[in-house]
Amino acid sequence: MPARYRIEWSVSQKEDLAISRQFTDSAKQPIDITGMVIVYKAKNGANVIEASTANGRITIDDAEDGLWSMTVPKATLAALPSGVYTHDMVITEDGVTTEFFVGTLELRPGV
Domain at 22, CATH number: 2.60.40.10
Q: What is the pTM of this model?
A: 0.91
Question: In the 8-state DSSP scheme, what is residue 32?
Answer: P
Q: Give CA separation, 51 vs 7, 26, 59, in Å.
A: 16, 25, 10
DSSP state of 111: -
Give me the number of domains the chain comprises.
1
The mean pLDDT values, 10 residues at a time, for the chain of 111 residues are: 80 96 90 95 97 97 97 97 97 93 94 76
Hey, is 65 helix, strand or coil?
Answer: coil
- The boundaries of the domain holding residue 86 are 5-108
pLDDT in the model for residue 101? 92
